[in-house]
Structure 1
């Protein structure tokens, strides 16, 4: 094990003089310091430090997937890093509770001194969103041009350049799409699956039609929802139909990637699918934790500001609530539960199929 030649001092190693000296209260410029402004600064600085670590982990994962082949050993490290991301996200969500120890009037004692600074200007958070896959065309920004105008030239150029690079969503999509077709001479899984889902959907329709507790209005709505689900299932078996649904925003994953992910989730207990299943589950959890963070942030802003605009001029709570509903990345992994069959309805994989399966191509 290698050892250092020069002694390492704790405070120097962590640059504590810079970190602990970086809290500059705006309120002191206009009179007495506002006591709660220290908390406000520290909480946001800690967020930025965690954003830096999240980017460190995600960039390593992106580098792994940005290759022609992803081997099992690499996939183990990827899953481990994504689990670390999730734990950091949980900690960040809990941190909002610390901010909520500040009352609205305490916040108002220094809020107006912060105009026009805004969380919009957190470049690291925007890097996180873009790196995960929430690029400009997929996210809700009420005024995208205005957002970019609030940034320095360097920050604007950094984000615009990142938009041109492949995101984790795009790379995972390509990785899933490389999975070999699940059709051999003695096993046609998708033929079996289609027959099983047709039976399941027909049973669902019959249940709706025979349900004596539904009013006629409720029955019509249930049948309308059933028809929409039926159309989504049809897209699984027809590439053109799927592409039409993709263009309507019903899906975001490519057809090949969705089928592969669905197969992995159907047979998640198979050893060959264990790591890919953990990966899909971790990405689902990351999206969920990010959504929870947005929701808690929106609730905190409403608690502090009510319906006032934010310091950066946004609609405050209304904007944040909208992002909670719309700024999702791995929504297809959530909705995939629609297409899952009970384990008892699945055929056992033949040994020949198990041997033929792989997740990287040489």
Structure 2
């Protein structure tokens, strides 16, 4: 590595004159500057800097998955970048605590000067959501209607173009769907799995029917829920049923990707599946951290505004709370826990299969 020819000065390298001079108070235009507006500006500027870094990592991951052939050895780098995103998300979640040192009245001292600016207009956050897989058709109704309404033409065109590109969710779905499922050397895993799942579900149903602590109404509800789980299990072995449930929004992953995910999560200790398991786990955690961020944001808004509308015209806390559960991306990775079986119910892998899945050298 070559050394630099000219000396570098810390402030110049970081362009601190631009960064530290970028806190212009809106309240100052109408009278005395509101002291806490400084905190409000800096917190949001820091969010935007972290969004930029997350997008930097995310775009590199998407480029990796977009290759015609996905090299297995590049998965380690993908997982490393996903873990970096998770740590950044943790920082962003913790940052809300700093914002909450501001009281509602302190916020109200400058809040009305910000209309109609809104977090809706954070282009980087919208890019992040779309790139992960939260495209317009998966958003709640209010979000669909106002998604592009409050943006400049330039920003609207940028996001619309991004909507037409493959998201990380779509690329991971395609990658999982290409993974080989286990039908090898006369060992049919899915036949063993279905038999074990039938036994487990029958045991669950018996537990409900024999539970004397449940009222008739409670027992009926439990059995109804059991039937829904039974139908979801059945769909794993019937692609048409699965696709019907997928159209109803029960699943988002393709049938092939769901089966691959389930197999990976059943046998994560096998060397061939260990890094894919880490990838699935990291994407699950990213979705969880994003959901926590939305929830904490909603709670903060309720704390600051109560039931007042947001500066951008949304219903404020009510809208943000709805996005917490509705605007999820990798929820199927959470729900595969429904289909996992205890290790002692899984068929032992024959030696020739373990050899196939392991790292062996002649």
TM-score (norm 1): 0.97
8 A Cα contact 1:179 1:357, kept in partner = no
2:57 counterpart residue number: 57
Counterpart in the other structure of 1:305: 305
Equivalent position of 1:39 in the other structure: 39
Cα displacement (A) at 1:120: 0.4
Residue 308 of structure 1 aligns to a residue in which SS?
coil
Relative to 1, partners in 2 of residues 1:147 and 1:71: Cα closer, same or farther, differing over 3 Å?
A: closer
Work out the CA distance in 2 between the residues paired with 1:295 and 1:220. 33
Residue of structure 2 in register with 1:152 after alignment: 152
Deviation at 1:149, TM superposition (A): 2.1
Provide the rounded CA distance (Å) in 1 between the counterparts of 2:81 and 2:216.
51
- SS of structure 2 residue aligned to 1:269: coil
- Return the offset for 1:283: 0.2
Separation in 2, partners of 1:330, 1:166 = 15
- Does 1:28 find its partner at 2:28? yes
Q: 1:116, CA displacement in angstroms? A: 0.5
Could you tell me which residue of structure 2 aligns to residue 118 of structure 1?
A: 118
Q: Give deviations 1:279-319, integer Å, cap 9, x for gaps.
A: 00000000000000000000000000000001111100000
Q: Give the SS at the match of 2:138.
A: coil
Distance 1:29 1:247 in 2: 52
Q: Per-residue CA shift, 1:111-133, capped at 9, x if unaligned?
A: 00000000000000000100000
Residues 324-347 of structure 1 show CA distances to partners (whole Å, capped at 9, x for unaligned) of 010000000001000000111112
**8 Å contact 2:137–2:144 — kept in the other structure?**
no
* Per-residue deviation, 1:70: 2.0
Q: How many angstroms apart in 2 are the aligned matches of 1:163 and 1:331?
A: 20
Deviation at 1:355, TM superposition (A): 5.0
Aligned residues: 358
Report the counterpart of residue 249 of structure 2 in structure 1: 249
1:218 to partner: Cα distance: 0.6
Once residues 292 and 265 of structure 2 are traced to their aligned partners in structure 1, the CA distance between those partners, rounded to angstroms, is: 24
Q: Retained in 1: the 8 A contact 2:135–2:163?
A: yes
| Alpha-carbon shift at residue 141 of structure 1 (Å) | 4.3
Distance, in Å, in 1 between the alignment partners of 2:348 and 2:123 is 49
What does residue 341 of structure 2 align with? 341
Distance in 2, matches of 1:147 and 1:267, equals 41
Q: Distance in 2 between matches of 1:223 and 1:158?
A: 49
SS of 1:142's partner is helix
* CA gap 1:50/1:141 in 2 versus in 1, 3 angstroms: farther
Q: 1:75·1:275 contact (CA, 8 Å) conserved in 2?
A: yes
- In structure 1, the partner of 2:353 is 353
- Tell me, in whole angstroms, the C-alpha distance in 1 between the residues paired with 2:198 and 2:351: 27
Q: Report the CA distance between 1:102 and its aligned residue.
A: 0.2
CA displacement at 1:184 relative to structure 2:
1.9
Q: Give the conservation status (yes or no) of the 8 Å contact 1:209–1:219.
A: yes
Supply the distance in 2 between the matched residues of 1:68 and 1:143 (Cα, whole angstroms): 34
Shift of 1:57: 0.4
Matched residues in 2 for 1:266 and 1:302: separation? 41
1:106 aligns with: 106
User: Take 1:193 and 1:222, find their aligned partners in 2: how far apart are those partners?
Assistant: 24
Unpaired runs of 5+ residues, structure 1, are: none
Alignment root-mean-square deviation, CA = 1.2
Deviation, 1:348, is: 2.2
Map 1:1-362 → 2, pairs under 5 A: 1-142=1-142, 144-354=144-354, 356=356
Whether the aligned pair in 2 keeps the contact of 1:180 and 1:357 (CA below 8 Å) is no
Unaligned runs of 5+ in 2: none
